[in-house]
Structure 1
Amino acid sequence: MEKLLEEINQDVDKLAENTGEEAKVLNEKIKTRLNSVAKDLKYINIKAEVKKLGVKVDQLVDRTGSSAKMLASEVKQEITAITDRIALHKHMDDLSRDLDELAVKTGSEATKLGTKVKQDMRSLASSVKSIDIRKEIDNIIARVDKLIDSTGEAAKTLGSEIKDELVLINSRIDLNNRLEILSNSINELAVETGSEASKLGMNVKEEMKSISDSIKSIDIKEEIEAIISKVERLVDSTGESAKKLAIEINEDIKNLLKKI
């Protein structure tokens, strides 16, 4: 699947450089491949993101010049992010299976598997930008040490608790990645005008609302609504006014990242 996404990335570059019938053929090829990726995905939220990309690929058919390159760059960033998210989910699935196995192992076998689990978690922590999330992973690693020495029902209970914590961390990492992509879209929106600004602004607002729906905190939901209002203003802004507002919105997103 990762190889297929890489090939789609290359096709997006070609689509940005072509027009007319060649662009239409490439467009259909990319969408067919995206549908193939979506069909094979078991992660519902990522499946939805892959399907959304088809809309942007359709828009790319009618773009030329710098406008096409900008949209192609946006699509490629999202494909890269989707690839990373798939890898993260698979990593978490592997960890979950290892934790189930660790909960029933004892002695040297438990020590060996526990060491592997901790190494995998350290690898995960090294790929995360958020210092808070890294600290949480370190805390989980300490709990894995306890799991290595646990047996019976105590081991099963502790293993289940660790798996639940990993699910929460996975969600936080996922949200962090999605917000970082939005930050890139805000920068692009600051230089777009007219109908292109409206389309990109709509995409940003839809993604912000999707993120809001996945969060329970009322306070954070309200902060996201405030950001959406600023995005609506940014759609109608141009020049220095747009650049200043984009900087302000990105600062709001950075502050939001610290709370998630």
Structure 2
Amino acid sequence: MTLKDKVAIITGGGGGIGSATAELYASKGAKVVIADFNEQAGKKAEERIRNQGGEATFYKVDVSDLEDVHNLVNFAVEKYGSLDVMFNNAGIDIHKPFLEYDRESYQRVLDVNQHGVFYGMQAAAKKMVELGKKGVIINTSSIYAYVVAPGSFAYHISKSAVKIMVTSAALELAPYGIRVVGIAPAGVNTGILDDYRKQGIMDIIEGAQMSNKLIEPEEIAQTVAFLGSEESSAINGSIVKVDDGALGFKFRFEHN
């Protein structure tokens, strides 16, 4: 996959899918800006990449703050001279029953998962147009943009919004040669599943996938690397389901 010398911003880059993607991009020769609100995690991710001989810089960002996101994009271009890939990956989930969901929790999830993605998309697109770059914008949606589960009302809304944002932005940015794509992971082995771990229901989450186990962040990173490369040039306006078949069946049938 052709990523050598590309400049990529990865939000939520301090952990999970974000850090795995940052490491993979750097290993393939990309220059990576690790953007995260968690300064400790972000700096550790930067250190790991540098120790492996890669090029990475941490930048603390609150993706729910429009000005902060524009400053992030400007920083990346000032640091590395360009912007080829914007991976809007930062996301949260506040797990509560629908009748107990409060305004603050609802707004916070949408601010990060939905509005933060819009801010990142637009800031990156404006900079790419300014630079004359035919870049790629990649957004993290979820299989929960297609199906629902108890306790994740705001998460469903935000990830559904990301799904249609991909298609809409791809249409408007196509004349500039900018591709917009998304991924829809299923159960990934990251901290966002901690509430389910505390409830002792991880067997249900794992059993929703054909391999009967969680997907590792490094597996998702491989798809993100492909989408950011020139080899995926025919993929535009689409959501790639990296779900280990979770959306493909309702009941599991075990074969002896």
| Larger helix percent | 1
Instruction: Using CA pairs under 8 Å that are at least 6 residues apart, name the structure with larger relative contact order, 1 or 2.
Output: 2
TM-score (norm 2): 0.27
TM norm structure 1? 0.27
Which protein shows a greater Rg? 1
